[in-house]
Amino acid sequence: MKKTISIINAVLFAFIMMISFPSLAQKAAASDQGKKTTVNGEVLDMQCYTSGGAHGADHKACAQKCIKGGAPIGLLDKDGNTILLVQDEENPGDYPKLADYAGDKVTVTGTLYNRGGMKSMVVATVAVSK
């Protein structure tokens, strides 16, 4: 009898939690949905930036070499946040141009995701910032 009451209480508690906090499930699902956006910042090679903080015009040649060699590409925004830039496999858009813009300020449009605390953007277009 006590076991049956415990099971009923557990099921009742779970049901109350589901109807009381539906927004928690919605927020979790929303974080997996991308958001179309535009971001300005400096193109980084994530290898040198994360290991030694290297970026900027003085690091341009090295960054281009690293990116062309396969290093991940990132964007450093004005607030010091980094976004991992990734290519859409079916439609690469302007992603291949990013190696040439290493160390430069650009405007990137695409779909921004935040998964597991990491921001990433599937790149659609890239333009040099004025």
* Region of poorest pLDDT, from 24-33, 91-100, 114-123: 24-33
Per residue in 40-58, pLDDT tens?
999 999 999 999 998 988 9
Per residue in 66-76, pLDDT tens?
999 999 999 99
Q: Could you tell me the maximum CA-CA distance found in the chain, to the nearest angstrom?
A: 75
Per residue in 97-125, pLDDT tens?
999 999 999 999 999 999 988 999 999 99
pTM: 0.73
3-state DSSP call for residue 111? strand
Q: Do the strands 73-76 and 35-45 form a parallel or antiparallel pair, or are they unpaired?
A: antiparallel
